[in-house]
Structure 1
Amino acid sequence: MTKKDFATAVEERRSIYVINNEAIVSDERIQEIVEHAIKHTPSSFNSQTARAVVLLGEQHSKLWSITTETLRQVVPANDFSPTEEKMNMFGAGYGTVLFFEDQSIVKGLQEKFPSYADNFPIWSLQSSGMVQYVVWTALEQEGFGASLQHYNPLIDDEVRSEWNIPLDWKLLAEMPFGKPVVAAGEKQFSPVEDRVKVFK
């Protein structure tokens, strides 16, 4: 398969919800994608706060079982069917990337540079968003479909316990991915000239 160029991958990266667990690339390649993103995505003061956990196979399925049972405790039983269907869609994929930010580094920077203390949590979130986007776009280049989910903080304690996550790692997002089964629908765009200004 010919690798998509970056601009095409950016354009074709969409939220894909219906996925399956067919292998498109090796597990080693998936690990390489995530490690490359964590290593090379910029962060404020080169703080390198981003952390990730890659769940494949049974570990991926376990995450969505945990999420399903957690949500079962908070969603009324008579309304749970759509939630369960969504969890089954995510669980049907090949894997999930969990995105964290190391709060010990953020707090350390706040103490070291008090003038910027209020900004470090914001910059941490910006860096995490870039990491998520880099991973998402790289997975798209390989032929995977993915979406970004936010079941934190509901699942935080069980995730920490199940995979021995350090206490200072704050869970920000979950990205289930797999081979696309149903393509994303048409996307509407606001006029770009209303959203970008250029001055010369």
Structure 2
Amino acid sequence: MNSQAIALYKKRRSQYALGRELPIGRDEATQLIKHAVREAPSAFNAQSSRSLILHGAHSVKFWGLAKDALRRIVPADAFAATEAKLDSFAAGAGTVLFFVDSTVVQGLQEKFPLYADNFPVWGEQSNGMAQFAVWTALADAGIGASLQHYNPLVDEAVRHEWGIPESWTLRAQMPFGSHQGGFGEKAYIDDDARFKVFA
């Protein structure tokens, strides 16, 4: 199959070896992330995804906050591995934090009570699509990234440090930067386990 979209999806991989030198400028990277989030679909065109884009020292600061939070719960004799992992994320050029705005979700629940139970689920699905859109766009630009989940441990620190509204719920973090390492072969489960096709 010759599909440009599928080729892009295959290009998107988890890159843990990150550096600070991006193949595009910082402003261009910011615009790329914004466009990707903007174009991600959402149920009822809710547009409930929000993003905090951190470059340079701000990104390093975030991973320092994550380190402080984890130091309080990870046993001291096991913390070195955790610290090394967080330092690898901080070594990148930036980090995107993904949020769901609960006021949008709640507003839709009130406006369309028949679907009230579904809107939180749809908000999460939309946020996942925004994450995938950003990750794919970064990969297309030659920028490495991975998806991390240190929420809710860092939520309050992030809210305080960058003035994040109470209605924004943190869902994922995406450190990004230059590729400083390669990728292993990707494994796939059997199609028979994944798909059922009737024609």
Query: C-alpha deviations, 1:79-129, integer Å up to 9, x for none?
Result: 100000001100000100000110001011111211111111100010000
- Counterpart position of 2:24: 25
- Counterpart position of 2:71: 72
CA distance in 1, matches of 2:10, 2:61: 32
Identity of aligned residues (%): 47
Give yes or no for contact 2:22–2:143 (8 Å, CA) kept in 1.
no
Aligned to 1:64, what secondary structure does the other structure show? helix
Using structure 1 for the length normalisation, give the TM-score: 0.94
CA distance in 2, matches of 1:153, 1:191: 34
Higher alpha-carbon deviation: 185-194 or 136-145:
185-194
Aligned to 2:128, what secondary structure does the other structure show? helix
CA distance in 1, matches of 2:110, 2:183: 45
Letter in 1 for 2:23: I
- Counterpart position of 1:99: 98
- Counterpart position of 2:7: 8
Deviation of the 1:179 alpha carbon: 0.9
Give yes or no for contact 2:138–2:144 (8 Å, CA) kept in 1.
yes
Query: C-alpha deviations, 1:147-180, integer Å up to 9, x for none?
Result: 0000000000000010001110110000001111
Structure 2 counterparts to residues 91-170 of structure 1, below 5 A = 91-170=90-169
CA distance in 2, matches of 1:194, 1:65: 41
Query: C-alpha deviations, 1:47-73, integer Å up to 9, x for none?
Result: 110111110011011001111111111
- Counterpart position of 1:175: 174
Query: C-alpha deviations, 1:125-149, integer Å up to 9, x for none?
Result: 1000000000000000011111000
Deviation of the 1:76 alpha carbon: 1.0
Deviation of the 1:45 alpha carbon: 0.7
Aligned to 1:75, what secondary structure does the other structure show? coil
Deviation of the 1:193 alpha carbon: 4.3
CA distance in 2, matches of 1:153, 1:190: 31
Give yes or no for contact 2:63–2:89 (8 Å, CA) kept in 1.
yes
Question: Which 4+ residue blocks in structure 1 deviate beyond 6 angstroms?
Answer: none
- Counterpart position of 2:87: 88
CA distance in 1, matches of 2:145, 2:26: 16
CA distance in 2, matches of 1:194, 1:79: 37
Structure 2 counterparts to residues 181-192 of structure 1, below 5 A = 181-192=180-191
Higher alpha-carbon deviation: 184-193 or 39-48:
184-193
Higher alpha-carbon deviation: 106-115 or 92-101:
106-115
CA distance in 2, matches of 1:40, 1:23: 23
- Counterpart position of 2:198: 199
Letter in 1 for 2:118: N
Higher alpha-carbon deviation: 112-121 or 122-131:
112-121
* Unaligned segments of structure 1, at least 5 residues: none
Aligned to 2:96, what secondary structure does the other structure show? strand
Residue-pair matches, total = 196
